[in-house]
Amino acid sequence: MENKNIITGTNPVMKGDFPDPDVIRVGDTYYMCSTTMYYMPGGAMLRSYDLINWEFCSHIYETLEDTPRENLDGESHAYGNGMWAPCLRYHNGKFYVFFVANDTGKTYCFSADKPEGPWTKSYVEGFYHDCSVLFDDDGRVYIIYGNRKIYLTELKPDLSGPKEGGVNKLIISDPEGPFLGYEGAHLYKINGKYYAFFIHTSPEKWIRIEAAFMADDIRGPWVGKDVISYYLEDTTGVAQGGIVDTPEGKWYGVIFGDRGAVGRIPNVVPMHFDETGFPVFDTPTKEIQTESTRPGYIYDSLFKSDDFNYIPDASGKIKLDEVWEFNHNPKPDYWTAGGGKFTLTTEKIAKNVEFARNTLTQRAKYPETACHVTIDGSKLNDGDFAGMVLLQHRYGTVGIAKENGGFKLVMRARTGEGDRAEEDVEYASIPLSEPTATVRVTGKFSLNSSEAEFYYLDGSEWKKLGVALHPTFDLRHFVGCRVGLFAYSTLVTGGSASFSRFVYE
């Protein structure tokens, strides 16, 4: 008889930049938390009933800290920093997320009674790179962390910091060398044995490798080896992420692979434990099958159009759809959404789109992305520019600029190519008879070759504007490309632009 609970999908399962995933199951529901770095709200929490299809559940915080870098004040920024490599846990009826932020130098613990929140922020004394926490069944709590050298520290029961007189030792190390040493820790206790999983790379070539270690005692000795070293199609290898069991007792790894400029995207890989208890992963494959705990469930999309018909809550606050994240801390007084429009008002001078406040973004989609939006620039000031951006260090923009009292359609970019590779360059402009336009961004993404193009609507025809962009995954941003809506001033603040009918095609 056909099993109607079987779900078939393809790796990568999520098609968007959800790096460093950690995954748990509570009852019939799988939850994932992923790195969001400097984007706000942060700490994307997702849910699934089959590990292949996912939808947003919540974000664990609106903003992380009130600092010049996270606020994008002046030319301060948190690019390449912010919330990094979360550890997601469920213990005694409560959800926990632990992570560090490199720009603040702090270790965070967020907790909630349910994954939808509200979440409460606290701090763990110390800084624990790529940490993973284990609530042991004897009531003790441990955190492992580090790069190349992996340390184990026992925490106080209240999680506020190291336990005085508790375990604090080096447990695992990778040899020194010009390659990525063990990091991205994930720590578990399963059937009485302790397991630690890490990512590292080969000394001979760049390939992401998943390593696993096992111990009978958490203090060691730890014995391990590489368990995945495989170039899944269009990746540099598949590694780093969590493992999770199904209600039927099957095990899977949810681990990411690099996909170039579009980012790092989770894949699902079946696994089991051999007769000694050591974890064994199947060879990663493009097609993947799992079993749904809620057959027929209809998932919300991770990539969505928006008509901006929002209604404020009782306190007057507007809650945007979870697919949207601002680039750095937003300034709520300078954006509004409702009545079919998303409106940005400028309140700082910015030299380019990287420093534009309140840029509203969604993840680009693998392997192809296409989005368009209509812009009303009638309230822009001279020197203002508003439109759509494909954002990474190599970025491209298309939109409306006001200059000497007139309006023009403009394509600007930092292409990373040619004599002015690192500059923001205007590559094309067309005079506008009225301050409105519909613009479009498209992208085709693969590991080694990505291309984006920029368009405007002329009657019923899309026409290209400016140059093609070839974005990369640049560590100066450290996230995949985002499609965003922006407005910024170069001369005087206070101008505004409205966006309507955002379509994720």
> Which of 22, 154, 174, 183 is an active site residue?
183
φ, ψ (nearest 5 deg) of residue 347 = -140, 15
Q: How far apart are CA 128 and CA 150, in angstroms?
A: 10
Tokens (6 digits) for 438: 């519909």
Closest C-alpha among 488, 253, 288 to residue 389: 488
Q: How far is CA 391 from the centre of its chain?
A: 13
Q: How far apart are CA 23 and CA 31, in angstroms?
A: 6
Contacts of 421 (CB under 8 A, 6+ apart): 414, 415
Residue 11 CB-density burial (10 A; 0-12 exposed, 13-18 middle, 19+ buried): buried
> Which of 20, 130, 210, 384 is an active site residue?
20
Amino acid code (one letter) for 124: V
Query: Which DSSP state fits 449?
Result: -
Amino acid code (one letter) for 292: S
Closest C-alpha among 42, 115, 38, 139 to residue 80: 38
Q: How far apart are CA 372 and CA 154, in angstroms?
A: 51
φ, ψ (nearest 5 deg) of residue 59 = -120, 145
Query: Rounded to a whole number, what is the largest CA-CA distance in the chain?
Result: 76
User: Catalytic: 461?
Assistant: no
Tokens (6 digits) for 357: 């406040």
CA distances from 348 to 329, 382, 402 (A): 14, 14, 17
* 251 and 24 Cβ atoms separated by less than 8 Å: no
User: Catalytic: 291?
Assistant: no
Q: SS3 letters for 104-144?
A: CCEEEEEEECCCCCCCEEEEECCCCCCCEEEECCCCCEEEE
Q: How far apart are CA 401 and CA 488, in angstroms?
A: 10
* 91 and 134 Cβ atoms separated by less than 8 Å: no
Q: How far apart are CA 112 and CA 90, in angstroms?
A: 10
Q: What number of CA atoms fall less than 13 Å from residue 176's CA on the CB side?
A: 0
Closest C-alpha among 285, 232, 297 to residue 258: 232
Q: Which residues are catalytic?
A: 20, 183
